[in-house]
């Protein structure tokens, strides 16, 4: 009874908070967060109030984080794929316009002023500017410049220097520095320009460089007179000159079209895809076999020191990947690496590990085996526990030998719980950027091609090269689009694999 009351109270409180936040977001116009919040609130209420949606209560906590940390980045990624987010187009249009509006230039022979600042009774800053050209004095107050008579009674002189204004002494250099923020925001209209802070000790007359006309959506360079119109994310003039920085715009399917029409991509696509597939398959196959073999070996209660062995064998997993990969890279150096030095002293051969395509692939598979077998070993160790021992007792009594026991009992039951993991491992290695990039960087390069796809590039590392190491660099929009395509590929393969493993699951339900 108390539980129900508590449940309703908490739900009520969260609902109230939620509504308050929804109203706030609605007022602020933050539609994305608003929608998410409404969906979240709806699900929460459904879960806690409906009897039929009882299982939802178990799923909601995980789903919240899944939604925020996995789904949201994917949605973000998808939205970027339709923009031109890349070098030269980082900013939003407003930010780009603001950038141009902040530009001032110094006209020829511009007038400069020395100044002193005073604090008024209300805490505002009052400035007295002295023109270096004409010697005239000006008073800057509340955003206006007014001519000041040197004999103004508010001024107090000492040795021909202004000692105080309205009884207040000027700010010291130290205080000026602390107030620079306010000083630099001043833009006092003067003549045809604006008087602004030029450095710590002087003001100068500036003129704005650009003018933006929001009605006609044009940017005019006041110095040269050129008019720029926004086109494809940059302000472009009639003669084709475009200004940096540009801004992000939606470009529809341009990035996707580029994927299919760009020779840099379509050329090596099948070769890279083939290797990606092979690589993912080999990764899973080798690590699983070794991991399983070790797990069976180490699960044997008659093997002494097996806890020690297990601990030693997961050492590859204990050292962070990027460290081990860098170390392996050094170990596999053809002339100077230890592996080859050992091989040389034993067999008098030096294998060009990272320099020839075939050996580079071998190296990748081997190093990945080293990195990945502990994971498989741990998982298999855990899953082996779930096989009831009576099955083995019964099989032994029936006269089955160890290999038959393995084939008929261990493997099928293991695969039921592990098969999806294998599929997942396949997908993970399909996109395993880290290992490829840190060990071979996708190399060695292939002679005679005019694309940047190396011999061991997988789809994702190739995309990285195309997006960040070519053209003007940092082509996020393009990379996002290709990520979606890669996802479709790997998702389809995995979905098919899952259908295949479903049949395994059905097989077990008869047990």
Q: Which of the residues 240 through 299 are near another protein (CB under 8 A)?
A: 244-245, 263-264, 294, 297-299
Using the rule CB under 8 A, is 42 a contact of another protein? no
Distance (Å, rounded) from C-alpha 447 to C-alpha 442? 14
Angle at 414 between CA 408 and CA 416, to 5 degrees: 100
Residues 307-326 that bind another protein (CB under 8 A): 307, 309-324, 326
Using the rule CB under 8 A, is 388 a contact of another protein? yes
Among 48, 197, 272, 439, binds another protein (CB under 8 A): 197
Residues 325-354 that bind another protein (CB under 8 A): 326-328, 330-331, 333-338, 352, 354
Residues 53-92 that bind another protein (CB under 8 A): 53-56, 58-59, 61-63, 65-66, 68-74, 76-77, 80, 87-92
CB distance 424 to 418 below 8 Å: no
Residues 85-124 that bind another protein (CB under 8 A): 87-92, 95-96, 99
Using the rule CB under 8 A, is 6 a contact of another protein? no
Beta strands per DSSP E along 52-154 = 104-105, 112-119, 125-131, 137-141, 144-148
Among 112, 130, 276, 431, binds another protein (CB under 8 A): 431
Residues 448-477 that bind another protein (CB under 8 A): 448-452, 454, 460, 463-466, 468-474, 476
Using the rule CB under 8 A, is 151 a contact of another protein? no
Using the rule CB under 8 A, is 198 a contact of another protein? yes
Distance (Å, rounded) from C-alpha 405 to C-alpha 413? 11
CB distance 223 to 209 below 8 Å: yes
Q: Which is nearer to another protein, 27 or 312 (CB)?
A: 312
Encoded tokens for 348? 């008098």
Using the rule CB under 8 A, is 303 a contact of another protein? yes
Q: Which is nearer to another protein, 137 or 313 (CB)?
A: 313
**Bridge partners for 228 per DSSP:** 219
Interface size with another protein, residues (CB under 8 A): 152
Using the rule CB under 8 A, is 164 a contact of another protein? no
Q: Which is nearer to another protein, 151 or 263 (CB)?
A: 263
Q: Which is nearer to another protein, 44 or 486 (CB)?
A: 486
DSSP readout, 50-78? -STTHHHHHHHHHHHHHIIIIIHHHHHHH
Residue 99 CB neighbour total at 10 angstroms? 15
343-to-337, 346, 353, 364 alpha-carbon distances in Å: 10, 5, 12, 18
Q: Which is nearer to another protein, 107 or 245 (CB)?
A: 245
Q: Minimum distance between the CB of residue 281 and another protein, rounded to whole angstroms? A: 15
| 157 three-state secondary structure | strand
Residue 480 CB neighbour total at 10 angstroms? 21
241-to-70, 226, 394, 423 alpha-carbon distances in Å: 41, 10, 83, 51
Encoded tokens for 397? 């009594």
């Amino acid at each position: 009874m108390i539980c129900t009351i508590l449940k309703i109270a908490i739900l009520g409180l969260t609902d109230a908070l939620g509504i308050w936040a929804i109203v706030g977001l609605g007022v602020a116009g933050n539609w994305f967060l608003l929608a998410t919040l409404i969906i979240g609130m709806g699900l929460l209420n459904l879960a806690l109030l409906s009897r039929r949606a009882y299982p939802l209560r178990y799923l909601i906590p995980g789903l919240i984080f899944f939604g925020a940390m996995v789904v949201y980045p994917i949605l973000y990624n998808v939205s970027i794929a339709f923009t031109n987010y890349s070098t030269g187009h980082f900013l939003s249009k407003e930010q780009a316009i603001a950038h141009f509006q902040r530009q001032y230039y110094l006209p020829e022979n511009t007038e400069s002023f020395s100044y002193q600042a005073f604090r008024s009774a209300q805490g505002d800053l009052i400035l007295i500017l002295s023109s270096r050209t004409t010697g005239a004095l000006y008073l800057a107050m509340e955003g206006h410049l007014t001519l000041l008579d040197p004999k103004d009674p508010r001024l107090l002189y000492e040795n021909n220097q202004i000692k105080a204004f309205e009884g207040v002494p000027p700010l010291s250099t130290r205080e000026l520095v602390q107030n620079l923020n306010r000083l630099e925001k001043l833009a006092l209209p003067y003549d045809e320009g604006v008087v602004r802070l030029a450095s710590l000790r002087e003001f100068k007359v500036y003129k704005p460089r650009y003018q933006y006309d929001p009605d006609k959506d044009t940017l005019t360079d006041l110095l040269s007179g050129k008019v720029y119109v926004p086109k494809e994310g940059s302000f472009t003039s009639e003669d084709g000159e475009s200004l940096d920085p540009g801004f992000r715009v939606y470009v529809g399917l341009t990035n996707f079209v580029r994927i299919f029409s760009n020779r840099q991509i379509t050329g090596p696509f099948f070769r890279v895809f083939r290797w990606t597939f092979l690589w993912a398959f080999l990764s899973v196959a080798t690590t699983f076999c070794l991991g399983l073999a070790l797990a069976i070996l180490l699960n044997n209660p008659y093997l002494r020191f097996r806890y020690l062995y297990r601990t030693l064998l997961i050492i590859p997993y204990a050292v962070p990947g990027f460290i081990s990969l860098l170390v392996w890279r050094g170990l596999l150096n053809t002339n100077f690496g230890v592996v080859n030095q050992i091989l040389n002293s034993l067999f008098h051969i030096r294998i060009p590990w990272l320099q020839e395509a075939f050996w580079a692939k071998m190296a990748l598979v081997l190093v990945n085996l080293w990195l990945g077998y502990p994971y498989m070993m741990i998982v298999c160790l855990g899953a082996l526990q779930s096989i009831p021992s009576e099955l083995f007792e019964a099989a032994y009594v029936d006269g089955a030998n160890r290999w038959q026991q393995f084939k008929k009992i261990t493997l099928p039951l293991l695969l039921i719980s592990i098969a999806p993991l294998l599929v997942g491992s396949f997908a993970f290695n399909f996109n395993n950027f880290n290992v490829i990039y840190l060990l071979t960087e996708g190399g060695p390069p292939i002679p005679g091609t005019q694309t940047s796809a190396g011999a061991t590039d997988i789809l994702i590392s190739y995309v990285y090269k195309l997006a960040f190491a070519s053209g003007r660099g940092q082509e996020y929009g393009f990379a996002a689009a290709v990520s979606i395509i890669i996802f479709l590929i790997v998702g389809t393969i995995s979905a098919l694999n899952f259908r295949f493993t479903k049949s395994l699951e059905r097989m077990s339900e008869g047990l």
